[in-house]
């Protein structure tokens, strides 16, 4: 009888461990040259989220300041294209690769910012969170060719993101951003 209880106890412990296990996390790029990554990025597409609700012509500007990255996110909301700006800071968490960052816009809250893919020359990027709830496709220009967009979506899908949730970002505002 003791052997029976021991087997059940071990089985329950294993099942409990499995229920708390992290899902497979997406892979990031192996190395990011943060100096080259800095500058202005246009949001091409993203998963809808509450903090960007109603945003058009969304951009992010990154500036390296010592070992921190200063962030200026900007978008325009509504028919009058009212400008909204959010300032934040990011720092690397994965040692030398610089592909895994933490971002903070409101202290003490932080979020993951993982660089999942970069095109040669750092012209396009795929950024997401390890839990796959957030995803952004970024470009140095406000628009990209449809073929390239489909390739980036395919890469995100291969990394386990439900790309059917992606929404294109309107980038044709008459206001210069």
Phi, psi dihedral angles at 52 (to 5 degrees): -120, 15
**Domains of the chain by residue range:** 34-168
Peptide bond into 108 cis (omega under 30): yes
3-state SS, residue 102? strand
- Whether the pLDDT of residue 88 is over 90: the answer is yes
| Alpha carbon distances (Å) from 110 to 3, 43, 46 | 47, 21, 19
Output the CATH code of domain 34-168: 2.40.128.20
pLDDT in tens, 1-33: 444 333 333 333 333 333 333 568 999 999 999
Extract the tokens encoding 89.
Answer: 């800071």
Tell me the C-alpha distance between 40 and 55, whole Å.
Answer: 17
Q: Distance between the two ends of the chain, CA-based, in angstroms? A: 73
pLDDT in tens, 118-160: 999 999 999 999 999 999 999 999 999 999 999 999 999 999 9
Q: Return mean pLDDT, the chain.
A: 85
Other C-beta atoms lying within 10 Å of the C-beta of residue 90: 19
Share of the chain above pLDDT 90, in %: 68
Most confident of 47-61, 88-102, 152-166: 152-166
pTM metric for this prediction: 0.83
């Amino acid at each position: 009888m003791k052997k029976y209880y021991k087997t059940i106890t071990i089985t329950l412990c294993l099942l409990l461990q499995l229920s708390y296990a992290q899902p497979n996390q997406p892979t990031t790029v192996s190395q990011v040259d943060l100096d080259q990554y800095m500058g202005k990025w246009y949001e091409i597409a993203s998963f809808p989220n509450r903090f960007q609700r109603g945003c058009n012509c969304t951009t992010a500007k990154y500036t390296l300041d010592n070992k921190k990255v200063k962030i200026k996110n900007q978008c325009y909301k509504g028919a009058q294209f009212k400008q909204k700006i959010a300032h934040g800071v990011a720092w690397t968490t994965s040692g030398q690769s610089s592909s895994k960052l933490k971002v903070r816009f409101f202290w003490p809250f932080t979020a993951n910012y993982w660089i999942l893919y970069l095109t040669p020359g750092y012209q396009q990027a795929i950024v997401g969170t390890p839990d796959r709830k957030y995803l952004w496709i970024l470009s140095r220009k406000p628009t990209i060719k449809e073929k390239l967009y489909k390739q980036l979506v395919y890469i995100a899908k291969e990394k386990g993101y439900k790309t059917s949730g992606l929404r294109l970002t309107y980038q044709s505002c008459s206001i210069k951003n």
